[in-house]
Structure 1
Amino acid sequence: MSDATTEPDAPRVRVYWRRGCWFCSSLRRQLADAGLETEEHDIWADEEAAAFVRAHARGSETVPTVDVAGEVRVNPSPSEVLALARAAGIATA
């Protein structure tokens, strides 16, 4: 779901997830169904991503963690992510 044409400084939605996480799968599916482009980071395959999550989840690796244009939420609802994306000008619907 990563958009390779996104400019480096453009606001974006980053989803931090891990394999086997039902909550991650559900969130990712619902965001895709809503048409929201995301940049995805598997914390089990990317130590920097895991460190980012730990920094925002009180030292734990709680996923999904989502960064919407600098606004980080741990285990957010799809509606919360979509509202943040709309507020950041990333999503219009």
Structure 2
Amino acid sequence: MWRTWVPSLAIAAVAVLVVATGALDPASIAIAVVLFVLAWIGSPLLFPRHVDDATARLEAAGTNTPVVYWRPGCMFCMRLRASLFRRADRAIWVNIWRDPAAAARVREVNDGNETVPTVFLGERAHTNPDPEWMRAQLR
């Protein structure tokens, strides 16, 4: 569980360092604010609730609901999540760092790599899908 927070905590630590070494000038404060916002965006807080792989497959089975495999700190995952706005709650989100079975499923369809976001619609995998395509699936 702690591993999912490492990227955000590292960014927040850099923000604190910038403020501590920047003598509280406006540029240092602005940089720190941007870094804190990035830390929040990259944290698990911004993403819908995590479910495990088995639960996600069951929930998606009869509903044609997309299952999005993601991990914290992934810029492509953040881009996809941000582009979906409120529609993101219509998909099922699985954090591959919290579920080894989910990570294995992602590796299975991505030549052994944990490339995320990987979206399953039914049994078909879409690696790093276009946000416009994803929005269309959630209408």
TM > 0.5 = yes
2:103 alignment partner AA? A
- When the two structures are superposed, what TM-score results if normalisation uses the length of structure 2? 0.52
Q: Distance in 2 between matches of 1:55 and 1:28?
A: 23
Do residues 48 (structure 1) and 101 (structure 2) align? yes
Whether the 8 Å contact between 2:65 and 2:92 is mirrored in structure 1 is: yes
TM-score normalised according to structure 1 size: 0.75
CA distances 1:42-64 after superposition (whole Å, capped 9, x unpaired): 11110111011001111100011
Which has more radius of gyration?
2
Shift of 1:10: 1.5
Q: Partners of 2:83 and 2:121 in 1: how far apart?
A: 16
User: Relative contact order (C-alpha < 8 Å, sep 6+): which is higher?
Assistant: 1
Alignment of 1:26-41 (within 5 A): 26-31=79-84, 33=85, 35-36=87-88, 37-41=90-94
> For residue 75 of structure 1, what is the aligned residue in structure 2?
128
Comparing both structures, which one devotes a greater share of its residues to helix? 2
Moved over 4 A (4+): none
Alpha carbon RMSD of aligned pairs, Å? 2.0
**Same amino acid, percent of matched pairs:** 37
What are structure 1's unaligned runs of at least 5 residues?
Answer: none
Asked if the contact 1:18/1:42 (under 8 Å) is kept, the reply is yes
